């Protein structure tokens, strides 16, 4: 696909938005969340001070409303009658954004919950761990004939209607080749948003462009981009990222990584006691109880795409192996398992998967394996949770 045009304006969005003299088809905005309070946060594996910059400093509700009202009202003037706007946030800013959108008579269509599959741990243990962000999707007005590619979304969701909860990992290290931005969004998130609500050749505006994730995803998908960013550092990261995709090899590589694939490979996550886990590794046999307490066997979607198993003991001692045959399992009795030296619990039947125990896979080991979840569905996770690559 031909790359779209890239225009990046350097300066204050409040001053530059009124200078845009053409209408845009879609707006994605990742405005300040106002969360920089000099508290502690985790970056990579390090504890760092939460200070993204002056633009993100804590503000009063009144100040937040004033700021959001101003840029959202400027955006409304450049948005096409049938265009839509996406605005991301957390509890710190999202209520203010929603208030202002309604006040300005945008029509809120959905609030997407982006559930990060790899959230950093909570440092204080005083609240539930933050693992989500919200993205409000709104039409310019209640009369707008807005666009949603519902069928495509269904297709990339494996044939099921896509819901408003999106499980997507945080930004991966390979997306930061041009430099560091503290609140960079993952390309895959923008890929989905852009495919869902724009056509090839459309123009997309991002009034808080940062490292230009929106611009990169837009251009890779043949959409034109106009971005505004006031920090020179980030402007140059954005331009560098744009240069990187001028090579067809690079752009194809990135597109492959961010494309959503209904045939995505899955991993079975299986907890076992340390001794049992060692025996599983020695024999190349992984087993789990077949069925629920009522004795029924339930095979959920994702099993047929399973290619790896991840063995762990309560979140520790994590090992990942490839199955000998994708999506294939056997049903064994308790007696058969006992012949291999296992001491399974009291269930009569077990699902058995054979894996290549001679070679351990060197994937990233997610920190949130220790979940008290019993359904097979919950144990089957996309390979991207382990690789950050799609």
Ligand X SMILES: C[S@@+](CC[C@H](N)C(=O)[O-])C[C@H]1O[C@@H](n2cnc3c(N)ncnc32)[C@H](O)[C@@H]1O
Position 202 contacts ligand X (CB under 6 A):
no
Comparison of 106 and 208: residue with beta carbon closer to ligand X: 208
Position 210 contacts ligand X (CB under 6 A):
yes
CB under 6 A: which stretch of 101-109, 138-146, 153-161, 207-215 binds ligand X?
Answer: 207-215
CB under 6 A: which stretch of 104-112, 146-154, 178-186, 380-388 binds ligand X?
Answer: 178-186
Among 1, 5, 7, 12, binds ligand X (CB under 6 A): 12
Q: Which residues of 16-42 are buried (b: 16+ CB within 10 A; e: fewer)?
A: bbeebeeebbbbbbbbbbbbbeeeebe
Among 37, 70, 118, 231, binds ligand X (CB under 6 A): 231
CB under 6 A: which stretch of 75-83, 149-157, 181-189, 329-337 binds ligand X?
Answer: 181-189
Among 203, 211, 219, 270, binds ligand X (CB under 6 A): 211
Rg (CA), the chain: 24
Position 270 contacts ligand X (CB under 6 A):
no
Number of Cβ atoms within 10 Å of the Cβ of 127 = 7
Total interface residues for ligand X by CB under 6 A:
19
Among 25, 98, 133, 229, binds ligand X (CB under 6 A): 229
Comparison of 112 and 228: residue with beta carbon closer to ligand X: 228
Whole-angstrom distance, CA of residue 185 vs CA of residue 192: 12
Contact call for residues 96 and 35 (beta carbons, < 8 A): no
Contact call for residues 355 and 323 (beta carbons, < 8 A): yes
Among 35, 84, 136, 185, binds ligand X (CB under 6 A): 185
Tell me, residue by residue from 47 to 86, as one string, x for binding to ligand X by CB under 6 A and - for no binding. Answer: --------x-------------------------------
Contact call for residues 347 and 338 (beta carbons, < 8 A): no
Among 6, 137, 146, 234, binds ligand X (CB under 6 A): 234
Among 30, 133, 361, 385, binds ligand X (CB under 6 A): 30
Residue with tokens 């696909």: 1
Of 340, 382, 386, residue with least CA distance to 365: 386
Comparison of 146 and 234: residue with beta carbon closer to ligand X: 234
Comparison of 211 and 219: residue with beta carbon closer to ligand X: 211
Comparison of 187 and 286: residue with beta carbon closer to ligand X: 187
Comparison of 188 and 379: residue with beta carbon closer to ligand X: 188
Residue with tokens 């070679």: 359
Comparison of 13 and 68: residue with beta carbon closer to ligand X: 13
Among 13, 68, 93, 384, binds ligand X (CB under 6 A): 13
Contact call for residues 5 and 224 (beta carbons, < 8 A): yes
Taking the complex as a whole, the smallest distance from the CB of residue 17 to ligand X amounts, in Å, to 9
Taking the complex as a whole, the smallest distance from the CB of residue 353 to ligand X amounts, in Å, to 39
Q: Which residues contact 24 (CB under 8 A, 6 or more apart)?
A: 78, 79, 80, 83, 203, 204, 205, 226
Comparison of 52 and 147: residue with beta carbon closer to ligand X: 52
188 token code pair? 């895959």
Of 347, 361, 328, 360, residue with least CA distance to 288: 347
Among 32, 89, 169, 215, binds ligand X (CB under 6 A): 32
Residues that bind ligand X (CB under 6 A): 12-14, 30, 32, 55, 181, 183-185, 208, 210-211, 213, 228-231, 234
């Amino acid at each position: 696909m031909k790359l779209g045009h890239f225009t990046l304006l350097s300066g204050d969005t409040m001053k530059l938005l009124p200078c845009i003299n053409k209408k845009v088809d879609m707006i994605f905005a990742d405005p300040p969340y106002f969360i920089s309070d000099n508290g502690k946060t985790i970056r990579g594996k390090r504890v760092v001070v939460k200070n993204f910059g002056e633009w993100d400093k804590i503000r009063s509700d009144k100040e937040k409303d004033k700021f959001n009202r101003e840029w959202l009202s400027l955006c409304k003037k450049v948005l096409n009658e049938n265009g839509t706007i996406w605005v991301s946030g957390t509890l710190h800013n999202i209520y203010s954004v929603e208030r202002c959108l309604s006040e300005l008579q945008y029509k809120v269509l959905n609030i997407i919950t982006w559930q990060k599959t790899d959230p950093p741990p909570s440092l204080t243990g005083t609240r539930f761990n933050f693992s989500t962000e919200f993205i409000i999707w709104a039409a310019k007005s209640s009369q707008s004939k807005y666009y949603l590619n519902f069928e495509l979304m269904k297709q990339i969701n494996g044939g099921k209607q896509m819901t408003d909860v999106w499980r997507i990992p945080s930004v991966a290290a390979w997306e930061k080749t041009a430099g560091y931005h503290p609140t960079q969004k993952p390309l895959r998130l923008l890929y989905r948003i852009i495919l869902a609500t724009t056509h090839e050749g459309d123009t997309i505006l991002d009034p808080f462009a940062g490292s230009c994730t929106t611009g990169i995803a837009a251009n890779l998908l043949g959409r034109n981009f106009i971005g505004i960013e006031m920090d020179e550092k980030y402007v140059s990261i954005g331009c560098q990222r744009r240069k990187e995709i001028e090579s067809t090899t690079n752009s194809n590589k990135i597109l492959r990584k961010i494309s959503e694939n209904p045939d995505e490979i899955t991993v079975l996550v299986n907890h076992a006691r340390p001794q049992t886990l060692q025996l599983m590794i020695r024999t190349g046999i992984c087993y789990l109880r077949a069925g629920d307490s009522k004795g029924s066997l339930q095979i959920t979607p994702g099993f047929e795409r399973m290619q790896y198993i991840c063995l762990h003991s309560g979140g520790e001692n994590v090992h990942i192996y490839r199955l000998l045959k994708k999506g294939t399992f056997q049903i064994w009795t308790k007696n058969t398992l006992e012949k291999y030296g296992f001491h399974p619990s009291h269930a009569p039947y077990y699902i058995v998967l054979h894996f290549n125990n001679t070679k351990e896979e060197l994937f990233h080991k997610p920190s949130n394996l220790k979940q008290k979840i019993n359904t097979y569905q919950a144990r089957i996770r996309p390979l991207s949770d382990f690789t950050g690559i799609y």
